[in-house]
Structure 1
């Protein structure tokens, strides 16, 4: 199993187990609601909500060409999720690098933050910014 899917899978399994117990105790309505909540948590923490990740070296090369920022992120990070949601449709205009899938991306984040893997780290014009404000990131996008 791929590492980014561990947390969503745990949400689904735990939600299913608890909902099954509630269903067997005679609370089918509550079981369905609980299962939907756990399903939503799994979806939000899955790689599906984020744009497709590419490798760090490719993202940095593309950023140098088109001027779009690079976002280093990892699944399960609430700050990454906040950035993604607050960017809305503009999120697709950035280059996203999953540091759990790309060792070069993880190394770039560690180099930017004194050895820590703090995400999201946004690379704008070659300069790293750790956990920036989503409004600021939106301002860094080149005109479309």
Structure 2
């Protein structure tokens, strides 16, 4: 892990949560492989080979890469990670249950794809049912 990733979430004075699942700011395409490599302790080139194999295997790697590129926050923009996007449900869930917002957003998108759109109803209900996180 680089100092940039480790120190990105250690600011206790502004109570910014620590993020492990992020995109790198200096990655080849969107920084997904480099960011995930740092999070998992795997060299970036190994993840890129895995992505290429996944792309060749029915093209699933392209879809997953695009989902992660949209859902994971960039390491140099962590102060904007919990900004409200599309009603702010994922950010609210991440704050409330102290989860990483990138993982919550990725799970929401995958749930949407698996349920063929029925998750839109659940997402809308969560907007009204999930309470906001308590501020300290």
Q: TM-score scaled to structure 1, two decimals?
A: 0.29
Structure number with the bigger relative contact order (C-alpha 8 A, sep ≥ 6) is 1
TM-score (norm 2): 0.30
